[in-house]
Structures are given as C-alpha cells and as structure tokens.
Amino acid sequence: MDLQTIALHAGYEKDTQRTMAVPIYMSTAYEFRDVEHAANLFALKELGNIYTRLNNPTTDVFEKRFAELEGGEAAIATSSGMSAIFFAIVNAAEAGDNIVCAKQLYGGSLTQTGHTLKRFGIESRYFDVQDPDSIEKLIDDKTKVIFFESLTNPSIDVADIEAITKIANKHGVLTVVDNTVATPILMPSI
C-alpha cells in the first residue's frame, strides 16, 4: 500500500456495519467476562481493554496506523508531545543517568530536560545542533539518550540526523528525535 492508503486504512478491521471511518469509542471502562478474564487482563496474560487510559479501540487503530506508516513493530499514543518525550526519556534513563540534548529545543522541552528531569535525578547535558562533533565529549557510561529535533522549533535549524545517530550508535546510546515540525511522513526515518 502507498502512504496515503496506509494512513486511511491500516490497523482497522471493518466492523459488522462495514463502516469506513473508525468508530470513536468514548468509554472509559470495559466489561470483563468474569473474574478470571479480568485477572488475565491485569496480569497481561491476555490482551484486551481495561481502562481507556491504558488502551482503547480507537487509540489502538491510531497506534497501528502510525506503526505501519513508520515501518515499526508498534506505536504508543500519548496525550501530548511533551508526554511522549517524557515517556521516551524516563523509559531509557533513571536517577544517576544523563541525557545529551540539543540546545535548540522547543521551550517546553528545554524546561522538561533542564528542570523536570533533574528532579528525577537525570542530568541533561547540551550540545549545539549545528556542531554534532561536540556530542562525543558529553557522553559517558551513564548516557542513555541523545535528544534533538529534526527541524528545531522555533529557529528551524536542520539537524544532521545521520551524523548524530552515527555517534549515538558508536556509543550504544538511544536517539530520541522530536519530528513535530517536519512530521514523520515528510521526514522519513534514516
């Protein structure tokens, strides 16, 4: 399928009504068949809906579409870009670790990396996105993430993604790229 077809159809099996549009499920909770079913869901022994904050049929289609568009195994939807960034970083780093961030980040991202994550014991070190060679001196054995934007907001500096990911791969460090401005479909993965 081409990208436009994937964007419209991936991840959705038509319901019995054969609707083309994905139904919007506004439920916050779901019925369990019995106590064993509930126990299996909460123990992750069985897949299914528990609460909308964990999963929802509408969100499931959205996640499947993005995974398909990006060539990934799966995707996770969050309520905002800031929560996505936080989720990505705190799942890779913990107290005592550090992350290396571009100085040219969206203001909210600078606050999150410089202040919020500091409260969790995660140190943020900063590099100039125009000088990827400066990254290596910031990396040590506690570095877990290199975080930058593909096109910075608001200055629209263009990151050298290939150079940055090459450095990250050399050191076994995860890269987290905020691609808000370019969008994934306009800036394919390298």
Is residue 189 predicted with pLDDT exceeding 60? no
| Per-residue pLDDT at 43 | 93
d(CA 33, CA 145): 42
Q: Is 109 helix (H, G, I), strand (E, B) or coil?
A: helix
For the chain, the structural domain boundaries read 3-70, 81-178
With a cut of 60, say whether residue 190 has pLDDT above it: no
**Per-residue buried b or exposed e for 105-135, using 16+ beta carbons within 10 Å of the residue's own CB:** bbeebbebbeebbeeeebbbbbbebeebeeb
Given this model, what pLDDT does residue 3 score?
77
Can you give the pLDDT at residue 166? 97
Report the predicted TM-score, pTM, of the whole model to 2 decimal places.
Answer: 0.80
CATH 3.40.640.10 fits 81-178, yes or no: yes
Question: What is the spatial distance between Cα 149 and Cα 158, in angstroms, rounded to a whole number?
Answer: 8
Query: How far apart are alpha carbons 96 and 93 in whole angstroms?
Result: 8
- Work out the percent of the chain whose per-residue pLDDT is above 90: 61
b/e 150-178 (16+ beta carbons within 10 angstroms → b): bbbbeeebebebeebbebbeeeebbbbbb
pLDDT reported for residue 16: 66
Query: Would you state the pLDDT for residue 23?
Result: 81
pLDDT digits 0-9 by tens, 27-77? 888 889 999 999 999 999 998 888 887 888 889 989 999 898 888 899 999
Each residue's pLDDT tens digit, 88-133: 999 999 999 999 999 999 999 999 999 999 999 999 999 999 999 9
Whether 4 shows a pLDDT value over 80: the answer reads no
DSSP state letter for 116: I
Helix (H, G, I), strand (E, B) or coil at 176: strand
* Residue 50 to residue 63: CA distance in whole angstroms: 17
